[in-house]
A and B are shown apart, each in its own frame.
Chain A
Amino acid sequence: MRFLSSTLVLIAAGLLVANAAVGAKPTVGQPAPEFSGTDSNGIEHSLAQYRGKFVVLEWTNDGCPYVGKHYGTGNMQALQKKYGDQGVVWLSIISSAPGRQGYADGARANKLTQDREAAPSAVLLDPDGIIGQLYGAKTTPHMFVIDSEGTLLYMGGIDSIPTANWDDVPKAENYVSAALDEARAGIPVSKAVTRPYGCSVKYGS
């Protein structure tokens, strides 16, 4: 019994540490918050396992017209393929709660990837919104770029024109590719924080 209670204390202490980590807001130039999550095929991924590679986090909700703009035009898939081919890890994350717009179980997430001919490295399922709230993900899309040492390089919108208008895609400056290209060329990221735009992330209450 005594063993049990001290174990409980330790667990509680562990939770406090975890909560403290959750409380730290993601800050550009600082280590990106560590997380692990399960993908649409049941495989675990952690940010730590991708040290040595650049990582892109993309919050998504297939029912959101702002997401639709970037998948309908093929823009998002093209970015995923281009940077995936260059060794960048691209994690799409679904933080919609069950019953809310965009929620997907593994099968639905895989079908979406197939139907949209998307090419993320993995689709992480985050129905409890834990990774989403850890990163303060606000919109779909909301984009984060992390360098090979685990430092947060970019957070914000996917590009410079915050509309749902498909015609604006080619006119916009894409902040994600700019951040990836600059950082990998050894140049400081010129726009490191921008306003994310889109639908609200459909967190559970």
Chain B
Amino acid sequence: MRVTIERFIERALVAAIAIATVIPMGGLADAVASEIDSSVVATDRARVTLISDQTAIRAGSAFWVGLRIELAPGWHTYWRNPGDAGNPAKIDWDLPQSLVAGTIRWPRPERIPSGPLMSFGYHDSVVLLTRMSAFELPPSADTVEIRARASWLVCAEICVPEGGDLALVIPTSAVAVAGKAEAAGEIENFRMRLPGPTLTEGAFRITGGRIELSIPTRSTSSARLEDVWFFPGEYGLVEHAAPQTWTTDTGNLDIALTPGEFPISPNDVLEGLLAVRYEDGSEASWDITATAMPTN
């Protein structure tokens, strides 16, 4: 009984700490109301957890950790460039010395139009992926604990900033046999939606008040394209909501973009994600960096 009460107090303390860490993300308790477990942050709008593709961590190995955001119907969260409004998720890792985290890898987003505005993000469910490298593990360590303080914005008709502390404990290979975790399939699904290797052969020019982005079609595929969209990586150079027209008539994939609010110059690099859908319904995407075409 005594133990139970102590546990209860401990849980209450954990909850109190959790609330204290959550409030600053939105400032208003009613705007960020969230219930925190050691490894789940759940609200009426989103349920967020950390997942991994491995059941055991071995020194010298690399593995994936995902921030999984499962959204209630109608809600969305954002890509690294959120578009005209919104904000991308943020993860601050708190890791043992033996682990090093890469940057967030963002799966291909959807276009989310709203009146004259355009957002880029995800409905239903998304796993934001981070590659972790494990170096020497302390011989005594049975587990590694991956901690993160994360924040994410969810919007439907209204926007609610959410966040909290998450943890994921994975056994080391000293005590467990390495294998695919239950979440491995889900991580694999979202890995398939990561952009392919960066295309650097693209070039742009400013002509007739538009930005013309030209990419050699050998970079993409010979299959027939049905839909093409360039998601700019940052705000300002391209008008997010403007229609994009494209053609492969020249032998390249030429996409006409509407300039955004930032003045674009030949010194700029147009960075973003090129997403295509082929006639057979398959989809692909690449990171892309394009420099200005030489003028002569």
Residue numbers of A with Cβ under 8 A of B are 25, 63-66, 68-69, 72-73, 100-101, 129, 133, 136, 138-139, 155-156, 162-167, 193, 195-205
B130-186 residues at the A interface, CB under 8 angstroms: 151, 153, 155, 157-161
Residue in B24, B27, B117 whose beta carbon sits within 8 Å of that of A138 in the complex:
B117
Q: Within 8 Å CB of B26, what residues of A?
A: 65, 68-69, 164-165
A100 adjacent to B159 (CB under 8 Å): no
A163 adjacent to B87 (CB under 8 Å): yes
Given contacts A63-B158, A199-B85, contact A72 B261 (CB under 8 A): no
Residue numbers of B with Cβ under 8 A of A are 24-28, 31, 84-87, 114-117, 119, 151, 153, 155, 157-161, 234-236, 261-263
Given contacts A138-B117, A155-B261, A164-B26, contact A195 B235 (CB under 8 A): yes
Residue of B nearest to A197 (CB): B87
Shortest distance from the beta carbon of B20 to any chain A beta carbon, whole Å: 12
Q: Within 8 Å CB of B160, what residues of A?
A: 65
Given contacts A65-B161, A198-B85, A199-B85, contact A164 B119 (CB under 8 A): no
Residue of A nearest to B114 (CB): A200
Shortest distance from the beta carbon of B87 to any chain A beta carbon, whole Å: 6
Shortest distance from the beta carbon of B50 to any chain A beta carbon, whole Å: 22
Q: Within 8 Å CB of A64, what residues of B?
A: 158-159
B158 adjacent to A199 (CB under 8 Å): yes
Residue among B31, B155, B261 with max Cβ neighbours from chain A (10 Å): B261
B161 adjacent to A200 (CB under 8 Å): no
Q: List 16 A-B contacts (CB under 8 A).
A: A65-B28, A129-B115, A163-B151, A163-B161, A164-B27, A165-B27, A167-B24, A193-B236, A193-B262, A195-B236, A198-B85, A199-B155, A199-B158, A200-B114, A200-B159, A204-B115
Shortest distance from the beta carbon of B281 to any chain A beta carbon, whole Å: 29
Residue in B24, B85, B155, B236 whose beta carbon sits within 8 Å of that of A166 in the complex:
B24
Residue of B nearest to A138 (CB): B84
A165 adjacent to B261 (CB under 8 Å): no
Given A73-B27, A199-B86, 13 more pairs with CB closer than 8 A: A65-B31, A72-B28, A155-B261, A164-B161, A165-B24, A165-B161, A166-B27, A193-B236, A199-B158, A200-B84, A200-B155, A203-B116, A203-B117
10 A-B pairs with the lowest CB-CB distances in the bound complex, closest first: A200-B85, A195-B235, A166-B27, A203-B115, A164-B161, A138-B84, A199-B159, A139-B85, A65-B31, A164-B26
Shortest distance from the beta carbon of B65 to any chain A beta carbon, whole Å: 23
Shortest distance from the beta carbon of A188 to any chain B beta carbon, whole Å: 14
Q: Within 8 Å CB of B157, what residues of A?
A: 100-101, 202
Q: Within 8 Å CB of B159, what residues of A?
A: 64-66, 199-200
Q: Within 8 Å CB of A156, what residues of B?
A: 261
How far is B116's CA from A156's CA once the two chains are assembled, in angstroms?
17
Q: Within 8 Å CB of B155, what residues of A?
A: 199-200
Given contacts A63-B158, A200-B85, contact A133 B27 (CB under 8 A): no
